Structure 1
Amino acid sequence: MFLLEVPFASPQYDETISLRTRILRDPLGMVFYEKDLAAEWDSIHLAYYDDQWDLLGCLVLKPVSERILKMRQVAVDAGRQKTGVGTALVKASEELARKKGFSIIELHARDSAVPFYTRLDYQIIGDRFEEVGIPHFKMEKSLL
């Protein structure tokens, strides 16, 4: 398995959009709009593939400041969830963030994903809130 940083609007990027739609949007009855995707041009798009080039998972890292990245749109193929793919993807993204000089990753975790991020040493910051109609918590991790 390997991690690939995929260029915005590339065929691999389009493949991550398909996975994100299936895993994150379809269950909520949501779709991506062009304006949503256009706002991702300056983000880091990571894709995690197996040796046959099957997409296992993906995520987006959006620079917030010189020190902070926001992790967004973490999606793992339904057949590969709870197999370590998500953990490997997040850890690889943290290493990439360190190499690029970032010291903090923040994210908005769905209520159901909080235990996953807690196991990876992310801390809850503040109270529960609603986003896209479901409960979330702001979480962050220092990379130092």
Structure 2
Amino acid sequence: MDVIIVENEEQLETAFQIRKKVFVEEQHVPVEEEIDALEQDCTHFLLYDDEGKPSGAGRFRMVDGYGKVERICILPSVRGKGAGRELMLAIEHYAAEQGVQKCKLNAQTHAIPFYEKLGYRVVSGEFLDAGIPHKAMEKTIK
């Protein structure tokens, strides 16, 4: 698996297509909530599977001095194969290169164990985002 930083419109559109498939089609998030006004403020990431097919996406942005990890999604064909971990490690590596000391994210509650294995800890109660239960999590980046 390989993770790249999106560098052009074609790659960005590929990331959006993956996000639409996972969040809009699978989870029924309205497309206008999924693709938002913050896109241009983010660094976008694409994950390619071992066959070179785009299979995951995520984005990162700076908010009030910390790194915000958002829109992490993996296509069903590579779930459970370490793809999410690879994507998260690449984003955290990028964050560390930017001098970030803390990353935060809003995790869907079913994904909390995944993020806990990566060292994130829950820092909020449950809340709804796009009608889906979430909890805020954070991690100190070394």
TM above 0.5: yes
> Is the Cα–Cα contact under 8 Å of residues 21 and 31 in structure 1 kept in the other structure?
no
Distance 1:115 1:30 in 2: 22
> Is the partner of 2:73 in helix, strand or coil?
strand
CA distance in 2, matches of 1:7, 1:108: 25
Matching residue of 1:54? 53
> 2:20 — aligned with what?
21
Match of 1:80 among 59, 75, 78: 78
Alpha-carbon deviation of 1:29?
A: 2.5
Q: Equivalents in 2 of 1:35, 1:135: separation in Å? A: 16
Counterpart amino acid of 2:74?
A: V
Quote the offset at 1:76 in angstroms. Answer: 0.6
- Provide Cα deviations, 1:35-69, integer angstroms capped at 9, x if missing partner: 9444210101011113543112110102103x311
Q: Structure 1 residue 34: deviation in Å?
A: 9.2
Structure 1 residues 17 and 126: alpha-carbon distance in aligned structure 2, compared to 1, 3 A threshold? same
Following the alignment from structure 1 to structure 2, what is the Cα–Cα distance between the partners of residues 35 and 82? 24
5+ unaligned residues in a row in structure 1: which ranges? none
Q: Deviations over 1:51-108 (max 9, x none)?
A: 543112110102103x311111101111100100101110111111101111111000
2:3 counterpart of 1:3? yes
**Worse-superposed segment, 79-88 or 27-36:** 27-36
Cα distance, 1:33 vs structure 2: 2.8
After superposition, give the CA deviation of every residue in 1:99-131 in whole Å (9 maximum; x if it has no partner): 111111100000100000011110000211111
Instruction: In structure 2, give the amino acid aligned to 1:130.
Output: L
Which residue of the partner structure matches residue 137 of structure 2?
Answer: 139
CA RMSD after TM alignment: 1.9
In structure 2, distance between residues paired with 1:51 and 1:115: 25
**Among residues 89, 92, 105, which one is paired with 2:90 in the alignment?**
92
Aligned-partner SS, 2:126: strand
Counterpart of 1:118 in structure 2 is 116
- Does residue 71 (structure 1) correspond to residue 69 (structure 2)? The answer is yes
Change (3 A) 1:2 1:28: closer
User: Are the structure 2 counterparts of residues 24 and 104 from structure 1 closer, same or farther at C-alpha, using a change threshold of 3 Å?
Assistant: same
Runs of at least 5 residues in structure 2 that lack an aligned partner in the other structure: none
